[in-house]
Structure formats: C-alpha cells, structure tokens
Amino acid sequence: MGAVLSGAGCLWCLTGIFAVPRVEAAWVQRVLEVVWASPAKALAVGIVLALAGLVRTGTGSKNAAKYLMQTSIVLSGLTMNVAEVLKAGLAGIAFTIATIAGSFGLGWVLWKWLKTDGKVTTLLSSGTAICGGSAIAAVSPVIMASGAQISVAMATVFILNGVGLYVFPPLGEWLGLSSQQFGTWAGIAIHDTSSVYGAGQAFDRIHPGGDALQQAMAVKLSRALWIAPIVFVAAWWMRRVASREGVAARTPFPWFILWFIAACAARSVWPGVGEYKDEVRRLAGTGMTMALLLIGMGLSREAIRTVGFRPMLQGVMLWVVLGGVSLLAVMRMGG
C-alpha cells in the first residue's frame, strides 16, 4: 500500500513539468489549479500520508530527496542572467546585506529566547533572508539537517508564502506604495520567487502599466545569488564547531553550489539559454516538488515532538520583523 501511494505521489508531482491547462469552464479551471502539483502541496500531502501511517520511507528516499533538491538548485541557476541581476542588486547592496545580516542576527536572538532547534533556526533564517525553500534546500545538506527539521522549516515558509501572496498586493495599495516601492518590498519580504512573481503580477493588475513585477523579480533574484556565500559560510561554521568540539568534521563540501554558479555563468554567456527559461524553471520546480513529497513522507509524530512547534513561531516572528523593517525602509526611499 505504501509503495503504491509513494509511486502515485511521484507521478502526480510530474504534472508540475507542464503549465496548468487553460479551459473555458471556470469550475474545471479551478479544479485543475487545485489538483496540479506544487512544492507546497507536495510537502503537505507527504506529511499527511506519513502522519496517517500510510507510507514509510528509508535511506533511499532520503538520498533521492537530497539529490533532487540539489539538482533543482543547479537548474534554477540557468534562469538567472548574472549581469542583469547584479545590476539590480548593486543599487541596493548595502540594504541587502543589512537585511540578510539582520535576519540571521534576529534568528540567533529568537533561538536563544525560544530555545528552538539550532539547525531549524539556521534553515528559517536562510529562507527568510534569501529566497525561501531554495535557500533551505541549499543549506540543509551542508548543516546535515534531518528530514523533520527540513519539513518544519519548509512548512513554515510555504504557509507564510501563501499569506504574503494574497496579503501584500492589497496592503501595498492601501499604503499607497508606488510600483517600484512595492516591487522592492515584495522582493525582500516574500520568501519564494513564485510568490514574489504572483504578488508583483497582482499589483501590476491594480496599476496597469506599472513595473512592480519587474522590480520584484530583479530584487529577489539578486538576493538568490547570496545562496552561494551563505552555503559556504554554513559549511565553514560546521567545520569550526566540529573542530572546537574535538570531533572529526563530517560536513560535506557543497559541490552543487559550484555547479549552481556555473549554471548562472552559462545563462549569462549564452543568452540563448534564456529562451527556455520557463521550461527550465518548471523542471526545477518539479524536482523540488518531488523532493518535498519525499521529505514530507519521512516525517513522524516522534520527529515533530523532537523538533517542536516553537520554530513555526520563530519563523513568523522573523518574517513579520523583516517585512515591517523593509516596508519602512522602502517608504522612506520614496517612489
């Protein structure tokens, strides 16, 4: 039974390779959008199946999830033109560094206060500071996070992504933000690229002719490039801790990040790669979707009790503070 459900789940994840079909019947369209696979849905399905005792995963599934996440990170590099992203990012590099450092600093304070799991704190801080699920996926193998730790961090981020997608556009309109202001705020404060895209698109519908989507994506992608240095710092820190404790360092070198950098360079050197950006993004998203299904399936009640629910409170507090501070900053900058 478990093998059949796992196989069916993996086949369902493959629907993400294709765009949701467009049909004339509105109710059919809504049904398709609900049942079509996405990373957030896959994680939720995996968790439900696991907690219901319907599936059980082993070492093979855990390794498959790890390599699927890493491959998806590398593929996402093919969608980034480094020159364009750096041009957008350099304009506010001091602000970017400040918000990233602030997210990790606040994460450390909340870790001390809430007494949460250290690795979950690192994952939540990385996801909040940079680009949500992609950052968590990149950092998790380096700090050797467990499936439960990854699941809790991912679930928190995806819930907040959904909130941001629907709340940010009307809130930005109510506050009277310009397209540039809203795009900058969304690119900083919303975790994942997909939700940033959706929020920017929704704001542009309210303001026809605006460029909130373009600004939001430029800001988000410029932050995504910080995945590489954050992963290397995480690897260095893990080795430092291991050395201080007098144990052999088992932290794997993050080779996949070098491939991510190479993919970004390839996209910049050969502009023709950009013609297949949407297809590559869907392929990378499908890999991440299947990985999160497997991670969710590896969860258990005992693992949840071990990690606890405080990390979710920690993730919400991190997001609210980052969103509030970045909103105040962009409002002071003007339109």
* CB-CB contact of 311 with 159 (8 Å): no
Has this prediction a pTM greater than 0.85? Answer: no
* CB-CB contact of 195 with 161 (8 Å): yes
For residue range 234-268, list pLDDT tens digits in order.
Answer: 888 877 766 665 554 555 666 777 787 788 888 87
- Which tokens hold the place of 133? 């699920």
Residue with more model confidence, 99 or 88: 99
Q: What pLDDT band is residue 327 in, cutting at 50, 70 and 90?
A: very high
> Which runs of consecutive H residues, i.e. helices, occur in 14-146?
26-35, 39-51, 59-77, 82-90, 93-114, 118-126, 132-139
Residues near 237 by beta carbon (within 8 Å), at least 6 away in sequence: none
Residues 89 and 165: their CA atoms lie apart, in Å, by 22
Task: Average the pLDDT over 292-301 and give the result.
Answer: 79
Buried b (16+ CB within 10 A) or exposed e, 25-56: eeeeeeeeeeeebbbbbbbbbbbebbeeeebe
At residue 322, the pLDDT reads 92
For residue range 58-80, list pLDDT tens digits in order.
Answer: 767 778 887 887 888 788 788 77
Most confident of the ranges 131-135, 238-242, 305-309: 131-135
